[in-house]
Structure 1
């Protein structure tokens, strides 16, 4: 559907709920096709800040296969879940009221961060880039 939209000249941002946003293949396809997107995700998804420094690729030691990934992208690497990130950044939340409902004001707390999914870090793979 998005490819057809692009063929017809639509190139705006893609918005999706967590049913789609939690699916890695969906986010990767959006990034591969060059879409800017904002998607909901489940609180269990692992993540890192979009501008997180993953380190440099180590220099070859002269023995074995030369390294291709940054130092922090290794099997067993740790990254927080969205829920843990939110708890650690609680001061970033803002109280927002968006309208008056039948039972009074409708409001909640919101925060927005630019992040990258990081569940692949623990498998020794680089996460989806910050453009995604």
Structure 2
């Protein structure tokens, strides 16, 4: 997030906040904050969050494919944001992980949904034509 970094502000100057590539300001964030007479800032603190998906990035005008951080369940729920590769021309989201080979599971009679496996996710460097999904 940037706001004329390193600059000192005086009343009534304003600071216009801009998020880094791939992030957006929250709905409660004040994009423009003014230096007030009591040496405090007007409005709410600026906070940047990740978009929910590559499709959301595309919807707001992103066209350059590359590594982006997404947060499908939002900033206040569940999993932490993670990196993916957004391939905008092809309309795919590519996610790599450390569990891409077949895994043998011992035949046991367990309740549905009991099998769990931790995976480490990282952005892929490009799309593979063998497993595309919509953005």
Please indicate, yes or no, whether the TM-score normalized by the shorter chain is above 0.5: no
Q: TM-score range by the shorter chain?
A: under 0.3
Length-normalised TM-score, structure 2:
0.22
Length-normalised TM-score, structure 1:
0.22
Higher helix share: 1
